[in-house]
């Protein structure tokens, strides 16, 4: 299916999301910071980024902006416990924590279908 990069500074969140997405047929890679995600994205192709919005070194919004500044149009899903922060776009969606896995899977499928 797709290669998904999970970016979250809470290890328990990444530990829960990776097997859930793998159970849907995706491959996953997890990192714990926005800076680590940028390093991965410069050397490895991923189909989708699932990132926490609020992280200490480089938050999800800054990560997405840095990726977009380089011309990369990889879809992003930003997650946060804080509601109503960001509007969605054709290659970005916002999901509230705690995540509903059915909704996550639906949004992943939607964004990946838009890339096809």
Query: What is the tens place of the pLDDT at every residue in 5-29?
Result: 999 999 899 999 999 999 999 999 9
Q: What is the mean pLDDT of residues 41-63?
A: 93
**Strands, E assignment, the chain:** 3-7, 27-31, 48-52, 76-80, 92-96
Give pLDDT tens digits for 24-35.
999 999 999 999
Q: Which domain holds residue 96?
A: 3-115
**How far is 79 from 52, CA to CA, in rounded Å?**
5
What's residue 53's pLDDT? Answer: 92
Give me the pLDDT at residue 89, please. 66
Q: Check which CATH number belongs to the domain holding 104 and give it.
A: 3.40.50.2300
Please give the share of the chain, as a percent, with pLDDT higher than 90. Answer: 70
- The structural domain count of the chain equals 1
Predicted TM-score (pTM) of this structure: 0.92
Which of 2, 4, 59 is CA-nearest to residue 28? 4
Query: Is the per-residue pLDDT at 83 higher than 70?
Result: no
pLDDT category at 70 given cuts 50, 70, 90 is confident
């Amino acid at each position: 299916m797709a290669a998904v990069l999970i970016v979250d500074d809470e290890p328990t969140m990444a530990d829960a999301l990776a097997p859930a997405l793998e159970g849907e047929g995706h491959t996953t890679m997890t990192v714990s910071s926005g800076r680590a995600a940028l390093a991965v994205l410069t050397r490895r192709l991923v189909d989708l980024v699932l990132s926490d919005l609020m992280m200490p070194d480089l938050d999800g919004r800054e990560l997405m902006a840095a990726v977009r500044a380089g011309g990369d149009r990889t879809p992003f899903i930003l997650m946060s416990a804080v509601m109503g922060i960001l509007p969605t776009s054709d290659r970005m969606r916002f999901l509230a924590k705690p995540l509903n896995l059915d909704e996550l899977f639906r949004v992943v499928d939607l964004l990946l279908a838009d890339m096809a």
